[in-house]
Amino acid sequence: MSTALQALDEAGVGKFHWRTVFTAGMGFFTDAYDLFIIGTVTAILTPLWHLSTAQLALLNSTSLASAALGALIFGPLMDRLGRRRMYGLEVLVLTVGAILSALAPSFGWLVAFRAVVGLGVGGDYPTSSVITSEFANRQNRGYLVTMVFAMQGLGLLIGPVVAAALLWSGLPHDLVWRLMLGLGAVPAASVIFLRRRMPETPRYLLAVKGDSKAAAEVVAETLGGQAVAEEAWRPRSQSLWTPKLLRRLVATAGSWFLIDVAFYGNGVSSQLILHWLLPKAALTTTVLVTALLFLVAALPGYFVAARLMDRLGRKTIQATGFLVMMAAYGVIFLVPAVVAVPVAFLVLYAISYFFVEFGPNTTTFLVPAEVFPTNLRGTGHGISAAAGKVGAFVGAFFLPLVLKATGLGPTMGLLAGVSLLGALLTLLWLPEMRQRSLEWTEEGLESPDAGPSLTGSRIS
């Protein structure tokens, strides 16, 4: 009879896994919907509320800053209090924030409620990724966690459709922007109950609580009643401040920061494309064209990454994505005339956008949920996700100043350098977790070249 973690690692993908992917993924669907919709909301509110440039910057940056805070709060708490006790609270916060945002009576209140939304969004990163990872089997863990993140792609696609439908509806704009924000509560609210019913992960029960009986019961339930043997495990609390784990943290947090900075290059490119194609288009038209660009260039990357994650490995996919981004931005820097050739620039844009998703935008969500020991997994992921949000802030609010001061070519050259740094950080310090058991990260498994193993700090 297999022990609990052996049975969990070697099981096939079943109904419980897919229910977990859906339950976790709806949070990222909401996150992406909100990420897109706020740009349309600010475009509507600017003439309605006579917003200044500073107010727009504040409105757009508040949720990024509070998302970083949310990740830093929820990540460590799930290590300290347990995955189950925290799960569902982040989407409850997100739901309340979305409803309150829709009812905001003034600019100040809207900023405050957007901060609440950001807290929920940030908290969703470590909780959903870690829980999916700890319930997944060894061979399909990359696929399952990446499928959770792929729901972000669907949210980015549905957001423009909802926005266009509301703009076409003929409803007053003062009602339209409220509906756009309020609808973000629906997918988040739909999984609050499911998240609160999620059992504690067997890995947390064993490695942190030392409760072998409860762990075996959860595994048996997860696998549809399959009998598993209990295994004793001496809980060991590892420290994040060791050279080995600090290198991993720098690699995961640094990579996430760098991809979110570098991704700004695709934002600039999309605006150039819209300027070419639709120089005088209405807001509704630009919204739909943005969705079309995403559908063609980026969305396939999520699902190709999911399919190949457990075959090619995380390091290969992440480093390749960074290097392709470096090449695309480098071409614009070295051959600025390519921007004046729409077909060539569109091809370059599509390739780079695909490799953002089939690359570091996806892997940076997965890897922090794998490379840290159980008692630090939420903390490591939370810090990494927070670093990503800081990178998003830098990309969104400082790089436009660089663009205005230096021009397109030097800005793209800078982003090519950022992408190269991401590739080097990935190749040098990021451990490969393809086909490995998560127990590889526990005390006693020091060699980065060790193969898949279920060995940990168990008492035989």
End-to-end Cα distance, the chain = 15
Q: Choose among 37, 39, 75: nearest CA to 57.
A: 39
HSE (side-chain half, CA atoms, 13 Å) at 292: 11
Q: What is the pLDDT along the chain (460 residues), one digit of tens a residue?
A: 568 899 999 999 999 999 999 999 999 999 888 877 888 898 899 999 999 988 988 887 888 889 999 999 999 999 999 999 999 999 999 999 999 999 999 999 999 999 999 999 999 999 999 999 999 999 999 999 999 999 999 998 898 889 889 999 999 999 999 999 999 999 999 999 999 999 999 999 999 999 999 999 999 998 887 778 887 777 778 999 999 999 999 999 999 999 999 987 677 667 667 777 678 778 788 878 888 888 999 999 999 999 999 999 999 999 999 999 999 999 999 998 998 888 888 889 899 999 999 999 999 999 999 999 999 999 999 999 999 999 988 888 888 888 888 888 899 999 999 999 999 999 999 999 999 999 999 864 333 333 444 443 333 2
**Please, are residues 74 and 123 in contact by the beta-carbon 8 Å criterion?**
yes
Is domain 4-441 given the CATH code 3.20.20.80 in the classification? no
Sign of CA dihedral 157, 386, 40, 325: negative
How is residue 164 written in tokens?
Answer: 């266009």
**Please, are residues 33 and 184 in contact by the beta-carbon 8 Å criterion?**
yes
> In sequence order, which ranges of 136-172 are alpha helices (DSSP H)?
141-168
pLDDT of residue 255: 98
Q: Report domain extents, the chain.
A: 4-441
